[in-house]
Amino acid sequence: RRACAFATRAHEGQRRASGDPYIAHPLAVAHTLAELRLDCAALVAAVLHDVAEDTGVSLAEVEAEFGSEVARLVDGVTKLGKMQWRPDEDGDGHVSRAEETAWAESMRKMFLAMAEDIRVVLIKLADRLHNMRTLQYLAPEKQRRIAQETLDIYAPLANRLGIWQIKWQLEDLAFRYLEPEKYKEIGKSLKLGRRAVREEYIERVKSILQAELERHGIQAEISGRPKHIYSIYRKMQRRGLDLDHIYDLLAVRVLVREVQECYHVLGIVHALWHPLPGQFDDYIASPKESLYQSLHT
């Protein structure tokens, strides 16, 4: 509450491009982080993340008021905001795709190295998410630049950190500005697939599976999720497929307590529904880089 009052005073009279009072932005950032259940210091720093940069308030004042932990976080976020981006490495006046990719990778490493405290990166990601959500108020050229940066740096970063909720939102928002036509097209065909029918289908699968798992004495948490638009697009690109040949537009996830139970559930699933050849991955035996582990079928 003290941080909110402090930040409201500091941003007094400032407005976002949307016309909203500026304080709406740091509050939205803190809200996202509260949903991710970050601790109090991180939420306070989120509320204050733009005061050192954009107002007359000094870091020393933040420290005097909220302590050194919060001040360090605010300072870290401010420094991340000042990073240079998109260098022309060979100086030929043209930034090639390879240069961009190499630079994006080094940025990602630098981000993680700089952020001795990972909360700094989380605040920065939530900051970018809200900026992407309010991107429509900026000029088209700026929209494209920020969307590309989001796709090249922030979304992969969220992915590496395993924060799926932020990753998919960043990707879909960026995609909407970079490829508006394709975004609309996929969004439309998904709706033509009749959302109600798809939801009913997923509910049916869940209840069949639930009953079968209970019969085997397995306690599990079963949930369903729709695939997000950018990831559908990527898969279509990667495999040269059209929408009709993407098999995981819908997915059901089963969470169990023991690793062994994963394989047990897999057996039950394959007994209920015939598996598709070549559509199985064992990320338990071979975890992803992020250490993510699961079975996909």
Does 48 bind Mn ion (CB under 5 A)? Our answer is no
Does 135 bind Mn ion (CB under 5 A)? Our answer is no
Angle, in degrees to the nearest 10, between helices 24-35 and 118-133 = 120
Residue nearest to Mn ion (CB): 127
Stretch that binds Mn ion, among 127-135, 245-253, 267-275, 286-294 (CB under 5 A): 127-135
The two tokens of residue 46 are 């989120």
216 sits in the region (left: phi over 0; alpha: psi -120 to 50; else beta) called: alpha
- In the bound state with Mn ion, the residue whose beta carbon lies nearer, of 50 and 171, is 50
Stretch that binds Mn ion, among 36-44, 120-128, 185-193, 262-270 (CB under 5 A): 120-128
- In the bound state with Mn ion, the residue whose beta carbon lies nearer, of 157 and 229, is 157
Using the Cα atoms of residue 47, residue 159, residue 151 and residue 87 in order, give the sign of their dihedral: positive
Residues in CB range of 297: below 8 A, 6 or more apart: 266, 269, 270, 275, 276, 279, 280, 281
- Please name the helix (run of DSSP H) or strand (run of DSSP E) that holds residue 125, with its range, or none: helix 118-133
- Cβ 81 to Mn ion, closest distance in Å? 7
Compute the distance between CA of residue 147 and CA of residue 178 in angstroms, rounded to an integer. 7
Does 50 bind Mn ion (CB under 5 A)? Our answer is yes
- In the bound state with Mn ion, the residue whose beta carbon lies nearer, of 127 and 171, is 127
Task: Select which of 12, 20, 35, 53 is catalytic.
Answer: 53
- Cβ 19 to Mn ion, closest distance in Å? 17
Ramachandran angles phi, psi of 226, nearest 5°: -85, 145
Bridge partners (DSSP) of residue 226 are 250
Specify whether 199 is catalytic. no
69 sits in the region (left: phi over 0; alpha: psi -120 to 50; else beta) called: alpha
- Cβ 181 to Mn ion, closest distance in Å? 30
- Cβ 122 to Mn ion, closest distance in Å? 13
Stretch that binds Mn ion, among 45-53, 86-94, 100-108, 147-155 (CB under 5 A): 45-53
Binding-site size, Mn ion (CB under 5 A): 2
- In the bound state with Mn ion, the residue whose beta carbon lies nearer, of 157 and 209, is 157
- Cβ 50 to Mn ion, closest distance in Å? 5
Does 127 bind Mn ion (CB under 5 A)? Our answer is yes
- In the bound state with Mn ion, the residue whose beta carbon lies nearer, of 22 and 183, is 22
Report the Cα 78 to chain-centroid distance in Å: 21
Measuring CA to CA, how many Å separate 254 from each of 37, 81, 198, 261? 23, 39, 18, 10
- In the bound state with Mn ion, the residue whose beta carbon lies nearer, of 50 and 172, is 50
- Cβ 33 to Mn ion, closest distance in Å? 12
Site string for Mn ion, 139-158 (x = CB under 5 A): --------------------
Angle at 163 between CA 159 and CA 164, to 5 degrees: 80
Residues lying near Mn ion in the complex (CB under 5 A) are found at 50, 127
Catalytic annotation, residues = 53-54
